[in-house]
Amino acid sequence: MSARMFVAYFGSEDGILGATRAVREAGFEIHDVYTPYAVHGMDEAMGQRPSRITWVCFFAGAFGLAVALALQIWTSAVDWPLNVGGKPHNSFPAFIPVAFELTVLFGGLTTVAALFLRSRLKPRMSNAHVLPRVTDDRFALALVVEGHAFDADRAEAICAAHGVVETDFVEVSK
Q: How far is the CB of 32 from another protein (least distance, A)?
A: 20
Cβ nearer to another protein, comparing 73 with 144: 73
Q: Is 133 left (phi over 0), alpha (psi -120 to 50) or beta?
A: left
In this structure, the number of other CB atoms found within 10 A of the CB of residue 34 comes to 20
Give the Cα separation of 82 and 69 in Å (integer).
17
Over the window 124 to 143, marking each residue x when it contacts another protein by CB under 8 A and - when it does not, the resulting string is: --------------------
Give the Cα separation of 61 and 91 in Å (integer).
22
Q: How far is the CB of 105 from another protein (least distance, A)?
A: 16
Binding flag, residue 40, another protein (CB under 8 A) = yes
Residues 79-108 interacting with another protein (rule: CB under 8 A): 85-87, 93-94, 96-97
Binding flag, residue 77, another protein (CB under 8 A) = no
Q: Is the separation of the CB atoms in 161 and 10 below 8 Å?
A: no
Cβ nearer to another protein, comparing 48 with 54: 54
How far is C-alpha 83 from the chain's CA centre? 48
Q: Is 124 left (phi over 0), alpha (psi -120 to 50) or beta?
A: left
Binding flag, residue 62, another protein (CB under 8 A) = no
Binding flag, residue 37, another protein (CB under 8 A) = no
Number of residues that bind another protein (CB under 8 A): 12
Is residue 4 within a helix (H) or strand (E), and if so which, with residue range? strand 2-10
Radius of gyration of the chain (CA): 25
Residues 6 or more apart from 65 whose CB is under 8 A from it? 99, 102, 103, 106
Binding flag, residue 22, another protein (CB under 8 A) = no
Q: How far is the CB of 62 from another protein (least distance, A)?
A: 11
Strands (E) in 117-163, as ranges, are 139-144
Binding residue (CB under 8 A) for another protein from 50, 119, 121, 149 = 50
Q: How far is the CB of 6 from another protein (least distance, A)?
A: 28
Residues making contact with another protein (CB under 8 A): 40-41, 50, 54, 58, 85-87, 93-94, 96-97
